[in-house]
Amino acid sequence: MGNVTSISAARPRVLEFFAGIGLARMGLEDAGFRVAWANDYEPDKKAMYDAQFGESPEHAFVLGDIGKVKAEDLPRDADLAWASSPCTDLSLAGTRAGLAGTQSGTFWHFTKLLRELGDDRPEAVVLENVVGLATSHGGDDLTAAIKEFNDLGYSVDVLAIDARRFLPQSRPRLFLVGAQNPPEDVAEPNSELRPDWLQWVYGDKSLRTHRAKLPRPPAPKTEGLGEFVEDLALDDERWWDAERTEAFTMSLSPTQRDRVMALKRSGGVKYRTAYRRTRNGVAVWEVRADDISGCLRTARGGSSKQAVVRLGNKRLQVRWMTPREYARLMGAGDYDLSAARNNQALFGFGDAVAVPAVSWLAENYLMPLVRGTLAAQTSEARVNAHG
C-alpha cells in the first residue's frame, strides 16, 4: 500500500476534494503534480473552475455533495489527496461547531472515501484549514483529525503557513500532511512552521506524528500591497462619493483618523485596506496601519468585505476591493474572471487557499514525499508510535 518506489517519472496524480475555484490545483500543478479528479458542491465555483482550466479528458470534475461520491468513481492510481474542507465551523468568524458542524463535518465524508479505497488510497494526504482547527474544542478536533488519518495508515505532520510569506496578505492556514511512508523525524523542528502552540501535537503519545526536515520559508512580507492594487482612474465610478467617504472618515477612531489624515497630506500615493467593524453596537471602519492586506474573506456580510483606501497628495479615496485584486492577493493574478459575477468572484477567492503557499508546500514537501526522496522512516526516527 502506498509504495512510493513504484511512482514513475510521470507527473504524480492528485484527487482534489472541496476544490472550490481550483487555487490548490494551480499551486499543485505549478510544482509538477497533475490534478486528475476534483469535487465541489457549489455550481458558481465550478463555473469559475471550468473557465480557468477548461475541459480535458485527463481530468474529471464531479459537481455535488461529497457524501454522494462513491469510491469506485475515484481514480485508483492517485499519489496525493488534497482536501481544503469548509472552514465555516472552525474559523474564528464561524460558529466554532468544530468537525461535527454541518459544513466542516464533511471531513468525515472525505476520510470515508479514503478508507473505501483500501490499498489504493494515495501515498500522501493533505488537509488544509484555518488555524482555528488547532484550538477548536480545546484541540479535540485536531486530535480527532490526526487520529482519523492514523487509523487510515498515515503519520501526520502539522504546519502553520501564512500566505504573507509569499504575498502582501495576512492569511495564516494550517496544513496537515499525512504520509503512509513518513520521512525521518527531525530532532530540531522548524519553529517557524511549527510554532509553540502546535508543539502539543507532537507530545501526544496517542498520536502517530512526524516532523519532516524542510527549508526555511520566506520571511513574512511587511509591504507590497500597492503593487497588487488595480490602477483605477480617479473619476472611476467605483470610488465612493464625497458623502460616503466623509462618513467613512468620521467613523474612524481619533488615533486612526490622525494616521489616515497624515498619509493623506503626504506626498506620493499609498494604499491601505479597511474593514467594517461593530464596536459597542456602532458600525465603524478600521484601517490597517501597514502596507499589507487583511485576510480576504467571503463576501457574505458587509463586515467580511474589504475596502481599499487611496491616500496621498492631499487626496483620500475609498472603494471596495475588486475581484482582480482578490485574485492577485491570492497569487492567481491572471485568473479567468469571465464566468464570475462580482460577489461570486469575491466569494470564490475569499474561500480559497493562496496559490504560492500550496506551491511552496508541494515543491518542498509533497513532491519529495511521493517521489520517495525524503529520508525514509527508520526505527530510530523520533515518531510517536500507535496507541
- Residues 171-197: tens digit of each pLDDT: 999 999 999 999 988 877 677 999 999
What pLDDT is recorded for position 297?
86
Between 252 and 7, the more confident residue is 252
Chain segment 135-172, per-residue pLDDT in tens: 888 888 899 999 999 999 999 999 999 999 999 999 99
Above pLDDT 70, what percent of the chain?
87
* 376 has a pLDDT exceeding 50: no
pLDDT of residue 105: 64
Residue 7 has pLDDT above 90, yes or no: no
Tell me, what's the pLDDT at 261? 98
The pLDDT, as a whole number, for residue 299 is 61
b/e per residue 313-323 (b: at least 16 CB within 10 A): eeebbbbbbbb
**Average pLDDT score over the chain:** 89
Judged by average pLDDT, the poorest of 87-101, 183-197, 298-312 is 87-101
pLDDT above 50 (res 213):
yes
Q: pLDDT category, 220, cuts 50, 70, 90?
A: very high
pTM recorded for the entire structure: 0.90
Give residue 94's pLDDT: 43
DSSP state of 246: H
Say whether pLDDT at 245 is over 50. Answer: yes
Domains recognised in the chain with CATH numbers: 4-220+349-371 (3.40.50.150), 231-321 (no CATH)
DSSP 68-137: G--GGGS-SS-SEEEE----TTTSTTS---GGGSTTGGGHHHHHHHHHHHGGGS-SEEEEEEEGGGGTGG
Average pLDDT, stretch 275-302?
A: 85
CB environment 194-209: b (16+ within 10 A), e (fewer):
beeebeebbebeebbb
